[in-house]
Amino acid sequence: MITQEMLPNTFKVWFNDIEITQYFYVKTDSGRGIFGREIDMLSVPGRAGGYLRKTNTPVRPINIDCFFSFADEFELRKKLEELNVILHTEEPAPLIFSDEPDRIYYAIFQNVSEGYENKGTYQAELNFVCPDPYKYRATEAVGYYNQETLQSGIVLKNSGAAATPPTFEVTLKDKVTYLDIAGENDYMRVGTSESTEDTPYDKYQKVWESTPTMTGWASASYVPDGGIKTGTMTVQNGDFVATDYGTGIAWHGPAVMQSIGSVLSDYYFRVYFNVSSNHGQLTRCEAYLLNTSGQPIGKLVALVRHASSEVEVEVNIRSGGKSTYFVNQKWKFRSFLGYIDIEKVGQSFVAHVAQQRIGEDGKIYTSEKYAFSFNDLNNEFQEDLAAVGLHIGANNTNTPGIARFRGAEVSTVNQQENGVEYIGGAGDTFTFDHKASRIYKNGELFMRKDFGARFFELAKGMNTLIFNPTEAIDHVKVRWRDRFK
């Protein structure tokens, strides 16, 4: 039987930036050598051989034959629990080997082939699969280009052995209705290029935005649904939080309100939340839409009302004695770091619920977003928006969880016939991720891609690219990893 002393301990493997060889020794691995491909052949009756139709690069399996050695069965079980947590990612993650430190495989753990087990020793083969079969240079190639250097186009050199997907970050210095990235054979476009007959316009015009202070907020004139107004709200690290929930037999906590400085029949209202709890904690954040009398005409809600700690999201509109929840469901994540918004244009109401995450660069981006709609055919919910309210609540004597408002904003919604909407302005950054086939505006999904545009790759060697409208672009940052087989 193989023992710990028989195996070298210098070979290391990292998965998702964690060294997994702290748990085992590597006997052998496979899948990183000469890589095959699939051949599609057409056979023709009566003719020898066949015709080559196409070749295809399949997914890449990587298998690691491992030997685990610990003091006893108890320690082995605990270490395997820890390793299970590391291996079970939801998406492909970087897989790096110490004999190939300048290359990254993007792999997801698939299954395990178990061998023998004896006391604290255990043999198994870990099976990974790389949906993207290529490996990548560990260090990114980065290019930074200001408006002057963009005038005549830029040239990017892909030094890898295969075409590779880039990421473009385009930061604006002026308003645009479209953005183009054009190569020799491909192009990417978002928005619409206006003609001489078109009039560009801003669809949304912000009229109010919260600031990280309680200045301008007053005690609410409304009573929070199903509870009472009590306690104190303040700002901590830029978030609105409850420092005192008061007491009550149902929902109770502070509630404040502030005028938006306008009275809007059509509007857009977005609120950023951070809501979560541990088992048994109950908590809620409710952002109210208020009429000219300071009474609710709707609300956006993230709450935990069950001991199982599931976050729920709600969007409500109301008028007089009529009320409807056209979003009322359990959220798919255990915590809600995200936003809820509502847009009203005439009889049409549209709401979005979005989960956000913090990226490697420390910036917040939207990872998932869902839309919901309601048509007010009978004109039952047509009161104007004049103010907004915030309420943070606890329930009875239950300990509240995390309940924070990260900010809020209100905009007018403009409609213009024979016009072309501006998609961005000074300071906005559009990110074109050609590997993930996604477009972001300031970290927010913005998939308004032109029908004929496509996510392209940088060809091996030199690539010439043109960005338009150049005069409205402040600078462009390009990132990619050279690709190898």
What does each C-alpha distance from 460 to 159, 163, 309, 380, 398 come to in angstroms?
7, 5, 51, 60, 61
What the chain holds in terms of domains, given with CATH numbers, is 4-137 (2.40.30.200), 141-199+421-484 (2.60.120.860), 204-413 (2.60.120.200)
What pLDDT does 49 receive? Answer: 84
Would the pLDDT of 46 be above 50?
Answer: yes
Question: Measuring CA to CA, how many Å separate 172 from each of 189, 424, 428, 468?
Answer: 15, 8, 6, 11
Tell me the CA distances in angstroms from 229 to 241, 249, 403, one per residue in order: 15, 12, 16
78 has a pLDDT exceeding 90 = yes
Hunting for tokens 């990548």 — which residue is that?
Answer: 136
Instruction: Please report the pLDDT score of residue 161 as a whole number.
Output: 92
pLDDT at 1 over 70: no
What are 426-474's pLDDT values in tens digits?
Answer: 999 999 999 999 999 998 888 889 888 999 999 999 999 999 999 999 9
pLDDT digits (tens, 9 = 90+) for 401-420: 999 999 999 999 987 777 89
- Residue at 216: amino acid letter: G
pLDDT tens-digit series, residues 347-363:
999 999 999 988 777 88
Give the model's pLDDT for residue 132: 93
First to last CA, the chain: 36
pTM for the model stands at 0.79
Q: Which residue is it, tokens 């070749």?
A: 55
